[in-house]
Amino acid sequence: MCGLFIAATVVSLMQYLRVRDRRLLLIAAMFACESQVLAREWDDVWRDVFQVGVCAAGLLLLLALSPRGVLKAPAPAEAASAADSPRGES
């Protein structure tokens, strides 16, 4: 299983070199940390450290993938008609 995560890390890094999308580095970090988690013994302190790394990379990836709200200003004609109409009517 550990070998699959190492292979996924290599594939993610190769894809990053191809498209230069920084979000792929977070995916590669997740795979690399998870391979280290699987390679460690249950009582190893570094297992917990790498598990925190997996969680942190996942949360950062969630932030990187979430759409950013772009506030769009209304067109001048829409703004003028909205200002002339009474409240509650469109």
Q: Are 53 and 29 within 8 A, CB to CB?
A: yes
Yes or no: say if 39 and 48 are a contact pair by the CB < 8 Å rule.
no
59 burial level (CB within 10 Å; 0-12, 13-18, 19+): exposed
- The pLDDT value given to residue 87: 62
7 assigned to some structural domain:
yes
In this structure, what DSSP letter does residue 44 have? -
Domains: count for the chain: 1
Q: Which tens digits make up the pLDDT trace of 47-87?
A: 999 999 999 999 999 999 988 876 666 666 665 566 666 66
Average pLDDT rounded to a whole number, residues 16-22:
96
**Range(s) of the domain holding residue 28:** 2-65
Classify residue 13: in a domain, yes or no.
yes
CA neighbor of 15 nearest in space, from 37, 34, 31, 35: 31
Q: Is residue 42 part of a domain?
A: yes
Q: 42 in helix, strand or coil?
A: coil
16 assigned to some structural domain:
yes
Is the whole model's pTM more than 0.75, yes or no?
A: no
